[in-house]
Chains A and B, each alone.
Chain A
């Protein structure tokens, strides 16, 4: 046993390797993205026989892993909550058919929406699919529950969901680690169409079997000592996920005595332990993030036990259904339970709101030299060139770095919904009656993920639409993962390149490629392409500048010739490039961060911006 400092994501990778996982697939999404690169690094260093890939989307990742699990391999699939929506079709089907090798689905929720997605409680996927769920409270817990998930999944032949949240996934703690398991299962998929097809299967019986498996899962969870109950007095607290960690801190800090039940699994629900808790206490506080799932289960158990006692939780407003828990709101809820004020430190005697107001908020913008900044500038200018105002032309946006086109000063985008939705929405606006041109924008990884079906749909019904793919070769927002367009796998080894233009041409769309750093030329091409009839695809191709810099490619920076500068500020106003400094109406370029994209030099009306001498 050795101690390692690991994040929740890394701890799950560690647990999977200790469990002898053989196939790992996933699609990046905050806060889950760090798991796969961390695992791949170990696989490479230790020369383990584990297949790891970033798949094209979560459903494909799930399908691939399903076949491997049916072949007897242990598999892990990773994604964020929105990704499980994409993969849910397979999840629900597979839960009924069962697995052979252990299958763990790692999904991360983001209460408080730090990563900019809508809030979603993925525990509901356990209730709808009947795949059991485990809900870790810290990195050490995440590793242990991963191992239990594999054991239970393989033994009972049922997929298991491991649900984490931001403050578990992105928290680092000390994790006790064992050696990696190398007991590899032989490939063994046997024809059994009665089970592996849906048409031939006895679907009613499969459902009955699934419910029976739930009873067995709960028995195993008990054997693994999950859902621990500790009766001490008549104050009861039930907590799941990271809320358990807050509860432990508060119990320890204030020296409290409480009866506690730690919920490791909401489904199957530890009914017997919940009953014991109800029978032994007078009042129960439920601590969980997002939706009141534990609370609802508990109330159901109360009805079953015929003892109804007060429950503090989300339904009485003690805690919120929105945002994340923290020490303060958990301490307040506990104060309400035990009728004693719990406060960590005295509030400092200053006007906190006034001091907070001193802070200048930063607008989100593209990185210095980002080609997307140039592309959105080009789109805006092309719209003007066609005689339209910016707020006349609908431009739909999509997920990833390209979504930053909604912010000042570019403000190109009108919508941003889900992966690939930009094209379906743009088509929808046309059929709903938009008479002026409609433009859809999305990144390369998003295009591969979910952008192709709506493009085919638009082609089938002959829609006048311009789709602009901002192709920077990487899935950058989530940490520069390779995608089908990159030409590398996640070990940095060459992989086949799937050409976006070959796909769009095959669909039948007029396709043209521009270089976003060539501003004037590109404005011209974009304007002309928008004016054409039919379905058109413009690929704005330039590698992510951060990746280029990482690979040692840095163009020579620019400078502003002070004698020529007319101090109009156009360079900043139109780009908000972080490399350009306005110091009391004197404009400079910070050559340490300028990546030499040259956009400012091309848009400067005084021709004052020049490239530095070598």
Chain B
């Protein structure tokens, strides 16, 4: 069995940290794992994409239309990876769009409409979540990645077949040097949120 995580966002949103948490958890379970990063040229504020592949994998890249889940920390970034989704891909999208004077055109205001268009055109599971807000309520605006991942983890049983909640918690502890407990709490809150929805 193969599971392909596609994690996307903007530099500084914790994409790389999340990929390391997943990879460490996989390694601890003695699973084969490959992680690849695509980063832009700029030091800060550029597109960041991580591909985490678990199972019987050899290639660093996910085949087209083969992501099992797409976790996006920035709504605008989601569109750029749409050729990785298939009819079963779960889309977990943070409603944040990193402010932008750096957009080449002034389209940023209409993103929510376009996400609705996307929702209409596919029958996939799409979750739009203000993960930033949830994290900020805990005074942790940088832990939105783990809240969003918590929701995905709680929803997708395929991930549970690789590792348990405790495996992820252990990996968070191994990868984060500060605010570990708050990050774990947000991960758990994400799981609780989706469980309460009874999907």
Contact = CB atoms under 8 A, between A and B. Distances in A.
A346 B102 contact: no
B57 A359 contact: no
A494 interface: no
Given A172-B23, A173-B34, A346 B86 contact: yes
Nearest to B87: A348
B99 interface: yes
B42 interface: yes
B101 A576 contact: yes
Interface in B27-50: 27, 32-47
B37 A170 contact: yes
Interface in A474-513: 476-477
A171 interface: yes
B87 to A, nearest CB: 6
Interface stretch (B113-121, B151-159, B162-170, B177-185): B113-121
Contacts of B122: 348, 350
Interface in A81-95: none
B91 to A, nearest CB: 12
Contacts of B111: 358, 360
- Interface-centre pick from B41, B56, B103 (highest chain A CB count, 10 A): B41
A172 B102 contact: no
Interface residues of B, number: 56
Interface of B: 20, 23-24, 27, 32-47, 56-66, 76-77, 79-80, 82-83, 85-87, 99-105, 107-108, 111, 114, 117-118, 121-122, 141
B35 A359 contact: no
A192 interface: no
Contact of A327 (B56, B61, B86): B61
Nearest to B24: A5
Contacts of A352: 82-83
A167 B86 contact: no
A337 B126 CA distance: 39
Contacts of B20: 5
B103 A362 contact: yes
B101 A582 contact: yes
Interface in A1-29: 3, 5
Interface residues of A, number: 60
A167 to B, nearest CB: 5
- Interface-centre pick from A114, A348, A356 (highest chain B CB count, 10 A): A348
B176 to A, nearest CB: 16
B76 A359 contact: yes
Interface in A120-179: 138, 167-168, 170-174
- Interface-centre pick from A345, A347, A352 (highest chain B CB count, 10 A): A345
Contacts of A609: none
17 contacts: A170-B37, A171-B36, A174-B32, A246-B59, A248-B58, A327-B61, A344-B66, A345-B65, A350-B121, A356-B80, A358-B117, A359-B79, A360-B111, A364-B41, A572-B101, A578-B100, A578-B102
B100 to A, nearest CB: 6
A365 interface: yes
Contacts of A359: 76-77, 79-80
Given A363-B102, A363-B104, A364-B42, A346 B65 contact: yes
A174 B100 CA distance: 38
A188 B26 CA distance: 47
A476 B99 contact: no
B36 A167 contact: yes
Contacts of B100: 360, 362, 578
A174 B27 contact: yes
- Interface-centre pick from A116, A246, A408, A572 (highest chain B CB count, 10 A): A246
Interface in A383-436: 401, 404, 408
